[in-house]
Amino acid sequence: MSLDIPGEELKSECPLDGKCSWKFKFNSAFNSYGLPVYECGSCGLQSVHPKKNIDYDTLYGKEYYSGEADFSYKDERKTEKFDSYVWDARLRNIKKYKKSGNFLDVGSSFGGFLNRAKIEGFNPYGIEISKYSSGHANQSGIPTFQGNFLDSNYPENFFDVITLIEVIEHLEQPKEVFRKLSSILKKDGLLVLQTADFEGLQARKAGPNYHYYLPGHLYYYSLSNLKSILSKNGFSRFIPYFGVDFPLSAKLLKSRGNFKNLKDYLKWFTISLYHFKSKIRIKDTRLTSSLVLYAFK
Ligand SMILES: [Zn+2]
C-alpha cells in the first residue's frame, strides 16, 4: 500500500472499517492554514491529508498554553476559578448517569477538570501529551499518563466515565482509538465526546472558512458518523446535546475569566445568542456545529 495515495492511506485509518470513499474536498481557508481536507462521500467524515509529522513537544509546549501560538489553548491555571463553573456544571450532568468510579479525561491538560471530579468523589486519571502540563498535573496529585492515548496502558472494563473534550479531532488512527475507548470502558460506562458537528449549518455554511480547520485537528466528525462509529464499537445508547451539556449560566460565569473591563460584559449577548441558537433544530438541521455526545456502552 503506497502512502502517496490519499484514498488508500485514509482507508487504512477509516473508523468505519475502510468503508469510506475519500475524495479531495478543498484546501481550508481559515487563517490561511490551507489544510488539504478530504471527505467521505457516504458518511461525511472529513480528514486532513497528508498529516504532517507533528512535533507535539513544540505544538503543545509552553506557547500553546500562553496564547503565543495563534491556535493556542489558554493556560487554565490562570482562570481555574472561572473554568470551574463549567467543570462543575458538566460534572453535575455526568452525575445524573454515573455517581462515582474511575474517571478518565483524555487531554487532561493541567488536571483542573479532574481535580473537580476528584472533589465530586471520582477516582481521577489523566492522559496528556504535553510534558509541560502533565508534569504540573502529576505534581498536584492527579495521576496523569504523559503520551499518546494509544500508548496508555489501562485494564479492560476499567473506567466508569471517559471524557474527551475537544480532543477526538486531534487523534490519529481513529479506528484504533474508538476500539480502545470501548475496551477500557466498563459495560454501561459513559463516554463523553465534545467536538464540532460537521452536519451543523454553522460548519456547512462556513465551508473552507470554518474556524475548526486548525493545525492539529486531523479528523472532523458529525453526530451521525460518530453514532455509526460508536455503534460498531459496542455502544448502544446515545444522548446528544446540541451546544453544550450544561446551562448557559455556567458559560457566562466562566467567560468572566477572560474579561478585562466592563465593556467585555457585552460579550454575554453574543454568548447567549449563540447558546440559544445552538438549541434550535429545524427537522434534522442544527443551526450551529457545537455538539456534546454522551454514549453508553
Ligand atoms: Zn465514510
* Cα–Cα distance for residue pair 44/22, rounded to 1 Å: 9
Which CATH number is associated with domain 54-195+220-296?
3.40.50.150
Distance 178 CA to ligand 1 centre (A): 15
Confidence (pLDDT) at 68: 53
**Residue 221 pLDDT exceeds 50:** yes
Q: Which pairs with CB-CB distance under 8 Å and at least 24 residues apart come from 254-258?
A: 254/79, 254/82, 254/83, 254/85, 254/86, 255/82, 256/82, 257/78, 257/79, 257/81, 257/82, 257/83, 258/74, 258/79, 258/82
* Cα–Cα distance for residue pair 170/218, rounded to 1 Å: 5
Residues with CB under 5 A from ligand 1 (ion): 20, 40, 42-43, 45
- Give this prediction's pTM: 0.89
Ranges of each domain in the chain: 54-195+220-296
Q: What CA–CA distances, in Å, run from 70 to 20, 29, 30, 34, 215?
A: 32, 15, 12, 15, 10
Q: For the segment 20-47, what is each residue's pLDDT rounded down to a tens digit?
A: 888 899 999 888 788 899 998 888 899 9
Amino acid at 86: V
Distance 102 CA to ligand 1 centre (A): 33
Q: For the segment 58-111, what is each residue's pLDDT rounded down to a tens digit?
A: 666 666 665 555 555 566 777 888 889 999 999 999 999 999 999 999 999 999
**Residue 13 pLDDT exceeds 70:** yes
**Residue 185 pLDDT exceeds 70:** yes
* Cα–Cα distance for residue pair 91/190, rounded to 1 Å: 12
Confidence (pLDDT) at 278: 83
Average pLDDT, the chain: 88
**Residue 118 pLDDT exceeds 70:** yes
